[in-house]
Structure 1
Amino acid sequence: MFETRSLRSKLILQLIVTVCMIPFLIPIYAMVSRSFAGSGWGNYAAVLAVPGFARFFLNSAIVAGGSIVIIYLATMAAAFGFSKLRVKRKEVLFWMMMAALTLPEVVLIAPLYATAVRLDLLGTFWAVILPIAALQIPFTVLITRGYVDGIPDTLFEAARLDGAGTWRMFWSVLVPLAKPMAVALIVLVLINSWNAYLSPKVFLTDEDMGVVTLLPEFFRRQYNDDTPKILAAAVVTAIPTVVAYILLQKQFERGMAAGAIK
């Protein structure tokens, strides 16, 4: 890590960091301050009074939890295979997976909808969880492979000499050593899946299966929107991910830094 010793260097660094933060703080400040316009805390009371408010959070937790489990297992297995196993043409397979990063979700909505209908998944949480997982796995594999590359091969060779098979090395060597990366994956997937809007809007046809990102819809009108309440709903929706990031910040930054260095 870079270290600044002189007072002048610390002040300059603090000034640079502050200036860099301003573009990110302005929209957050505008959203929070505007959410109190008119009724003040009454806007938040209106959000909490939305019918089925707790159910919206539960549904989002189901989507986020399912996505985290699938992405974690698939990412760790793929990163282990690409990094430590002798797989024929694995680099070709790896870059084919990376090509999926160029496909935005909105382009895939039509084929995903057709697939969900054919598999009879429309109106189920799987119709949201599986596309979210599929779209995020290429990126998570990309950053996790760099982390796994940093684990010495000698550890796996020693485990193999002790009689461990491939799955034993995966569960007993890789998984314990990859805990910082696991935390980074959990935070990334939680943020992306919790904030998912398009997939739940399209695939969850039952009103009882709504997620938190759909809460602002209750305050949209035909001719005008109740903007303060919409922003209050956005603030409430963001709270779980902000809290999760604050609690796991150190582990998240450690995992991301290690995954970025090969």
Structure 2
Amino acid sequence: MTSRFERGVTYAILALFTVTSLTPVLGILSTAFGRQSSLDTGFSLPDGLNWGNFADAWSRAHFGTYLMNSVLVTAAVVTATCVLAVLAAYAFAVMRFPGSTVLFYLFLAGLTLPQEALIVPLYFDLRHWGLTDTYWALILPQTAQSLAFAVFWMRAYFRGSPRAVIEAARIDGASSWTTLWRILVPMGRPAISTMVVIVFMWTWNEFLLALVMVSDEAHRTVPLGLAFFQGQHSSDTVLLAAASVLIALPVVIVYVLLQRRFIEGMLSGATKE
């Protein structure tokens, strides 16, 4: 058992990290609620909750269009990644076929390749096929990039699943498809939720790919829209802070909704006892 002193030190360290993490968030929020004519930034308390700053930033930056683009791209990437990762990970973890080990390590190689090294040849390939300035130029590369982690993550879960459950399903006459979708997937909701949150954050915050692949305003995502908005309102820190809060809000909402399963999946290492 830990002593009272050790618990006190632990709580003090946790409190220190909490304050450090929340400091920039509080600074952005205090700026976002300030008056647009004010020159104060950071931690000066606003003279009121100026909710109109968010509406002003929304209308000036055309975030309605950008938000719909980000929702469409993110939903497509998360859905495609989850389905493909579950299928591929189940094959690598449970099924046996020639070349499975080589193919799995080929997937893992995707974790070692930096996006900056691939963005230029990827741009020319997509331009050759006429896919630049389309949603496919954002969906396809991000799905491919996310699959490396997603397959690795879900394979760890499937390998840690009770073998007795899989064998019992096979004895009862269940096919591989039934075993996967009726037994393993419901059991693996924490692992899948963790994967969904991580892929969602990666896709929603993606900037470089959108910057290179998209040149027309109709297909801009919110991170790219914020960059252009910053260029136009570089001195208006209140509107910039309000726009930043609007962009970060969907990620916060998704995490809050899935936080219990996300933490459960992270702590368990995506495995089942």
Indicate whether the TM-score tops 0.5: yes
The 5 A counterparts of 1:1-262 are 8-36=5-33, 38-39=35-36, 41=50, 42-50=52-60, 52-216=62-226, 217-221=228-232, 225-259=235-269
User: How many Å separate the matches in 2 of 1:20 and 1:13?
Assistant: 11
Partner amino acid, structure 1, of 2:128: R
User: How many Å separate the matches in 1 of 2:129 and 2:179?
Assistant: 35
User: Greater shift after overlay, 25-34 or 202-211?
Assistant: 25-34
- Partner of 1:248, secondary structure, is helix
Alpha-carbon distance, 1:138 to partner: 1.1
Measured at CA, do residues 37 and 107 of structure 1 come closer, stay the same or move farther in structure 2, by a change above 3 Å?
Answer: farther
For the Cα contact (< 8 Å) 1:220–1:226, is it kept in 2? no
User: How many Å separate the matches in 2 of 1:141 and 1:257?
Assistant: 18
User: Greater shift after overlay, 58-67 or 26-35?
Assistant: 26-35
Summarize deviations over 1:176-228 as a string: whole Å, max 9, x none.
22111121111111111111112222223331222211332224149x54333
For the Cα contact (< 8 Å) 1:144–1:259, is it kept in 2? no
Structure 1 residue runs of 5 or longer lacking an equivalent are none
For the Cα contact (< 8 Å) 1:80–1:170, is it kept in 2? yes
User: How many Å separate the matches in 1 of 2:146 and 2:169?
Assistant: 31
Measured at CA, do residues 58 and 51 of structure 1 come closer, stay the same or move farther in structure 2, by a change above 3 Å?
Answer: same
Structure 2 residue runs of 5 or longer lacking an equivalent are 37-45
Give the structure-2-normalised TM-score: 0.85
User: Greater shift after overlay, 8-17 or 35-44?
Assistant: 35-44
For the Cα contact (< 8 Å) 2:153–2:195, is it kept in 1? no
- Partner of 2:9, secondary structure, is helix
Alpha-carbon distance, 1:73 to partner: 0.8
Give the structure-1-normalised TM-score: 0.88
User: How many Å separate the matches in 1 of 2:251 and 2:55?
Assistant: 21
Alpha-carbon distance, 1:239 to partner: 0.6
For the Cα contact (< 8 Å) 2:157–2:270, is it kept in 1? yes
Give me the identity figure in percent: 34
For the Cα contact (< 8 Å) 2:150–2:195, is it kept in 1? yes
For the Cα contact (< 8 Å) 1:84–1:153, is it kept in 2? no
For the Cα contact (< 8 Å) 1:71–1:137, is it kept in 2? yes
User: How many Å separate the matches in 1 of 2:114 and 2:236?
Assistant: 30
Alpha-carbon distance, 1:151 to partner: 0.8
For the Cα contact (< 8 Å) 1:215–1:233, is it kept in 2? no
Partner of 2:42: none
